[in-house]
Amino acid sequence: MIRHHPDSNMLLEYASGSLPWAMSLAVSAHLQLCPHCRRASEQLNEIGGGLLEDSAPQATSGAALAQLMERIDQEPQQGEPQHADSPAGEGAPVSRRNTRDDRDPALARLPQVIRKLLGGNRPLKWRRVSPALKMSRLHTGQDQYEVAFHRISRGGKVAEHDHRGREVTLVLYGSFSDADGVYSPGDFLLREPGEVHRPIATQDQECLCLSVVEAPVSVTGPLGWLVNPLLSFRPA
Q: Of 6, 41, 39, give the one whose Cα is nearest residue 23.
A: 6
Residue 25, classified by CB atoms within 10 Å of its CB into exposed (0-12), middle (13-18) or buried (19+), is buried
Query: What value does the mean pLDDT take over residues 95-112?
Result: 78
Over pLDDT 90: what percentage of the chain?
Answer: 61
Which of 64-68, 139-143, 203-207, 225-229 is most confident? 203-207
What is the reported pLDDT for 204? 95
pTM of the model: 0.79
Q: Which residue has the higher pLDDT, 7 or 101?
A: 7
pLDDT tens figures, 64-81: 667 767 767 765 544 433
Q: What angle do CA 64, 66, 72 make, to 5 degrees?
A: 105
Helix, strand, coil share of the chain (percent; to 5): 30, 20, 45
Every domain of the chain and the residues it spans? 125-230
Is the C-alpha dihedral spanning 103, 21, 139, 116 positive or negative? positive
d(CA 179, CA 177): 7
Residues sharing a CB contact under 8 Å with residue 59, sequence separation 6 or more, in sequence order = none
Residues sharing a CB contact under 8 Å with residue 192, sequence separation 6 or more, in sequence order = 163, 166
Q: Which CATH class is domain 125-230?
A: mainly beta
